Structure 1
């Protein structure tokens, strides 16, 4: 370590901790990050693979600063994380490092004891690990005490930064940081950590939306990844048995006896596959080693699975949704499986990063998709094997190191409403110009004009959410008071009304109340089979008892959007004649058949395939484009639906006639005209507080692309 300039700049306590770990040297990303972070003159984006040393790259110099120069009173470092479980992991990971340097560290979220939080609030010091929601609550409920606790902040560390980019919680996070800097009267050094970033420059722009401070991206050279990869297709049997039976049998043979992760695209699939794997263990007299993990399961149920994986004493496979994508510490897993075509490259990269973390150990990825083959009465989508081709496209783009850029279209007006109300609650009242300056000029709503912001405020006023005093000051009105007083106010996302599921006094998780349930109904939950014993509609509690059969419930939720580049790669795959090496023989046969159908029906040149009821319009573009054309067809009296890479139109006539009608409509229609014809669809939690015209315009701007659709239609004329 004596030759390391970065090591020599670290504090004595941090150096002592490094020696105790037995490290022979710092990792490359840690060598790079230390001088830049200690200089603290720029914002910093640190990217490295999962288990690549990002956390230490940020915290070795940050805690060194705390030990050598940190404030005696007040927090010096704020670390924001998207998950409570990640905060718990970070605390365990950093506790001894902080102890070695004599630095305090406090985890802060809803599950942390109030006594620990009270002690920290009374004598704030060192590092505060917190979620955006808990920081939001501090602004609202601890308004008069907050400044004294944060006035000596120097660094803000954002963990799993990619989980915030382009999302409502990201808007909330950046708004809170802008308000925090305004409160203390100076900029903070923002440090973002991520394993998956497609465009670092764009990510740095998101980190500091107003560009008032320069940023630097610290990366390490990509090491060649040892990857074992297989894509296997399953054809539903002729007897209409679900294909999940054969999938579960293969997963059982591949995975039994060691630890793995199996990802699925829906909670329902997680439950179905976990149930089948559990029954295979039971019928063979083997101990259970397959467990469900998703957001509707209780914290205790999820923690049990995470801890069992982390302990590594028993073979354990978690069947999960995106809940295990992020960096929760679960130890080593041998392989990763994915059921169904991934919707995006970013998610698949995160999932793959869970395998092959030990040096010299390959990452293993198995993808299982449903094909269609010779099924009765197939649609053109079936015959083109769209799911299989999407899976291949995502894999190829991942291998080329491409990642989707963040969403640039969403206005996130719901979160803007939340932040306006939060600012009023914090200060007691605000003027519109001050709110616009903080949220839109310095904060994340850079695409909101003063005129549009005024329309937002007028809508809030008309709906009795805010009220303007004769002095011009905005205060909370009656409806706004109820919103801010709700315990759910601090979350930027919608929390659906749900039943709590209880068995033998233990809470298993929740199910949405939108689905009707009745006593005696059989269901699968947490990978087990249950019968509904009783329902308490007032308390929203369902009591369950074990049963011998069940069906996986419907959880709701939307599928993830698919990027234009994935759909364009799908089209390219139909035009190629090679078979990717990672395809099994069944997949290779389906690829060849689908390509033959693609060429026989001239899909690439004609764009349309018709059957006796519908017109299938192949566009090979992102969901915004497909939704725009779907709505345009519907507005011209041709009901339509988006299906994978195409729009299915209820029309059996000449496609030229349909294109002509849409072209004529667009010739006399602007985006504003289209907005006026669409029924307002609130997109976020607080959108109903806005006026209908603002909701309409936001929907069109976020979900549709009229200008590009018009150019596309003109090209078909």
Structure 2
């Protein structure tokens, strides 16, 4: 610890009572003290925040950083609120200050931040950009002392459009301060850490060293020029994992209610509707139950999470909102209903347990049907082999390029039509935005051009100008929902279809795990007023976007059906049902080839390739695919009259002519900022994101056998 500032070392030993730092924290000191960009990888509660802050606070003191010199960026406001007291305490050791700036921070508190200029600002990318475009913030002066940026849960950004948005905003900040800004990412385990740190570096790449600091990695590190520092003694303990089959949500509620009485249990579900339904069932069993999901009001979530943190014998049921590092106190158990989509999500979730000395990480899977059981077994099979998904930035973010051009014009009022690209410091794709995008923005009135300068036009003000252009600063679009109020208290939001469906008698909703009777609907203001009811409520939220599992997980499902068992305990119920699934699907899998199976008039190609690879194959092989079919993760329906000879002839060169999948008009209409693109570019953007050429090519390279069975 000698490399740290003496005051920091003093407080680590005396205020925190730590005899030493964790291996990750020790290993991070040298690269961060040297100003290197870095990616710090550890499981949940692995000490990543301290690993980043202790060296940066030491530099802040020794190098006399002033003003807001450190930004701490998170994907969730709740995570920022949770971190704020801890960051404030650490900063206070050195007489430094930390403040929040996000959408829940009031105007008076914001004015205080601008006046007092704290040393550390905790914020989201959207709130960071709102500061850049605000007329009330002298952004050049406010950010003049910026030296470093910490991006927490960086993996959650990198695989999403928010990641491209974050990188573009960081480049604009770098341009403002006219010097490289150190970038430090904090992440759970990912399959391609060197790629991830290179992505985070942006225009720093090649100018500033990039380092990955991690425990011994469960996968080979492959990337572009990043150094890798491995610490610790191998993979974290595997933990206590059990896989069960219960057959229904009602049975799952009985198991959760019966097991581990007196302990704190966190139950993950894969949808908001299921969270609500399970919460109501658990309360029916007399279990003290709290809920957390994105459609509950912020106050409701905060109350639930605080009450859960302070209680002992209780359950909190959540979607992935509690997958990230929000502190809900010491947990005894994690229970998973069915399975998450990725191994990375599972690692985040099991990482919520085993934090107390002497306790072990644990997770109980309760699967509701055969498909979910096979999926869960496949996920655990991959986990047991040490495999974790690589994080890949979404390709061709042209709509974010359009958004950034508009946001820059708001920030600077007027920008040169030939020099505005310099604000992104050559970062691809923002450093060289396609000329057709800028031309389209001018032609459609989103921008106006005068004397070689670009500025915001009337179409942009009409489309995005509400609430001081807040619609322009959010790069994701939520579905239109109605706010639900019990008196003056906001409970959350619901899908409007629950208010338009025909019902007999009272219209009842399920929200916060309780039933409510609708008393009045304010259609104009999209508000719904309710009062408590005795059961009968319904929950529903329509989801947008493409679902489906990835190539590796779906292939692992095939492996499970062929006999692979995950390295976890299986209950007898799970063993019996898995055997039944293997028997029922035996004709759809073959160890040496893909299977084309004829069952009466249904001819189906069992690729086990995942949704994206299958839609790519279907688009490429339109001559053999049933035109009315809809792809799923596992198979593609073919023309009923297709023969083996015709198949071989029509697919012989398919790997050399893979096509982008077709994109629906509804999907294009749902692309945020898609209207700011020429229609063909919006469609091409979505098609590129839907395609999986590697997965499709891998399937085409395998032999295929025709089989027939009779019902």
TM-score in terms of structure 2 length: 0.88
Cα distance change, pair 666–569 in 1 and its aligned pair in 2 (3 A)? closer
Deviations 1:202-235 (A, max 9, x none): 1111111342322011123245415111111134
Determine if contact 2:588/2:595 at 8 Å carries over to the other structure.
no
2:362 maps to 364
Residues 336 and 679 of structure 1, relative CA distance in 2, 3 Å threshold: closer
Answer whether contact 1:575 1:595 (CA < 8 A) is retained: yes
Aligned residues of 2:74 and 2:153 also touching (Cα < 8 A): yes
Superposition pairs for residues 162-177 of structure 1, below 5 Å? Answer: 162-177=155-170
Q: Distance in 1 between matches of 2:670 and 2:273?
A: 24
Q: Does residue 1:157 correspond to 2:150, yes or no?
A: yes
Asked if 1:299 corresponds to 2:298, the answer is yes
> Aligned match of 1:533 in 508, 512, 519?
519
Once the two structures are superposed, residues 287-310 of structure 1 have per-residue CA deviations (whole angstroms, 9 ceiling, x without a partner) of: x51122100000111001211222
| 1:569 equivalenced with 2:556 (yes/no) | yes
CA offset digits 1:393-450 (Å, max 9, x no partner): 11122233321112344322232221111111111233454344444x633537x8x5
Provide the residue aligned with 1:412 in structure 2.
397
> What is the deviation of 1:187?
0.4
Alpha-carbon separation, structure 1, partners of 2:86 and 2:289: 27
Structure 1, residues 215-259: CA drift from partner, whole Å, max 9, x if none? 011123245415111111134xxxxxxx11111101111144321
Query: Structure 1 stretch 627-636 or stretch 100-109: which is displaced more?
Result: 627-636
> Aligned residue for 2:577?
590
Is 2:145 the counterpart of 1:148? no
Aligned equivalent of 2:347, options 346, 349, 373: 349
- Which blocks of at least 5 consecutive residues in structure 2 are unaligned? 216-231, 705-711
Cα distance in structure 2, aligned partners of 1:130 and 1:481: 26
Between 166-175 and 486-495, the greater mean CA deviation after superposition: 486-495
Alignment of 1:215-364 (within 5 A): 215-220=210-215, 221=232, 222=234, 224-225=236-237, 227-235=239-247, 243-281=248-286, 288-311=287-310, 313-364=311-362
**Alignment-derived partner of residue 48 in structure 2:** 54
Q: Summarize the alignment of residues 521-670 of structure 1 with structure 2, pairs less than 5 Å apart.
A: 521-557=507-543, 558=545, 560-576=547-563, 581-600=568-587, 603=590, 605=593, 607-612=595-600, 614-631=602-619, 638-648=627-637, 651-654=639-642, 656=644, 659=647, 663=651
SS for the counterpart of 1:489 is: helix
Pick from 172, 197, 210: which aligns with 1:204? 197
Partner of 2:472, secondary structure, is coil
Report the more deviating stretch, 689-698 or 614-623.
614-623
Q: Quick one: distance in 2 between partners of 1:125 and 1:577?
A: 55
> C-alpha separation between the residues in 2 aligned to 1:190 and 1:169?
17
Of stretches 104-113 and 216-225 in structure 1, the one that deviates more from structure 2 is 216-225
Give 1:159 shift. Answer: 1.1
Aligned to 1:403, which of 379, 385, 388?
A: 388
- Whether the 8 Å contact between 1:465 and 1:480 is mirrored in structure 2 is yes
Q: 1:599 & 1:277 partners in 2: Cα distance?
A: 37
The structural deviation recorded for 1:331 is 1.0
Distance 1:347 1:593, change over 3 A: same
385-394 vs 654-663, greater mean Cα deviation: 654-663
List alignment gaps of at least 5 residues for structure 1.
Answer: 236-242, 282-287, 372-384
Question: How much does 1:484 deviate?
Answer: 4.4
Change (3 A) 1:680 1:532: closer
SS at structure 2 position matched to 1:468: strand
Aligned equivalent of 1:480: 460
> Which is further off, 211-220 or 352-361?
211-220
Distance 1:412 1:593 in 2: 44
Is contact 1:147–1:184 with CA below 8 Å preserved after alignment?
Answer: yes
Distance in 2, matches of 1:12 and 1:644, equals 56
Whether the 8 Å CA contact 1:70–1:126 is kept in 2: the answer is: no
Match of 1:495 in 2: 478
Give the whole-Å Cα distance in 1 for the aligned partners of 2:24 and 2:249. 43
Question: 1:532 offset after TM fit, Å?
Answer: 1.4
In structure 2, the partner of 1:24 is 19
* Structure 2 residue aligned with 1:461: 442
Q: 1:442 and 2:442 equivalent?
A: no
Cα distance in 2 between the residues matched to 1:508 and 1:434: 48
Taking a change above 3 Å as real, the CA distance of residues 21 and 615 of structure 1, as seen in their structure-2 partners, is: same
Bigger Cα displacement from structure 2, 576-585 vs 145-154:
576-585
Higher mean displacement: 575-584 or 194-203: 575-584
Structure 2 CA distance for partners of 1:616 and 1:587, relative to 1, 3 Å = farther
CA separation of 1:229 and 1:705: change in aligned 2, threshold 3 A: closer
Work out whether residues 614 and 631 of structure 2, in 8 Å CA contact, stay in contact via their aligned partners in 1.
Answer: yes
RMSD: 2.9
Q: CA deviation at 1:120?
A: 1.9
Q: How far apart are 1:464 and its partner, in Å?
A: 2.1
Deviates most, 349-358 or 248-257: 248-257
Q: Aligned to 1:130, which of 110, 120, 123?
A: 123
8 Å CA contact retained: 1:291, 1:305: yes
Q: Is the 8 A contact 2:161 2:475 kept in 1?
A: yes
Contact 2:68 2:143 in 1 (8 A): yes
1:614-660 CA-partner distances (Å, limit 9, x unpaired): 333211213211122344567866211133322345x5333648847
Matched, 1:38 2:19: no
State the match for 1:240 in structure 2: none
From the superposition, tell whether residues 497 and 701 of structure 1 become closer, same or farther in structure 2 (CA, over 3 Å).
same
Do 1:335 and 1:364's aligned partners in 2 also have CA atoms closer than 8 Å? yes
Could you tell me which residue of structure 2 aligns to residue 374 of structure 1?
A: none
Change beyond 3 A, Cα 1:613–1:261:
farther
How far the C-alpha of 1:352 sits from its partner, in A, is 0.7
In the TM superposition, what are the counterparts of 1:677-688 in structure 2 within 5 Å?
681-682=668-669, 684-688=671-675
Aligned residues: 676
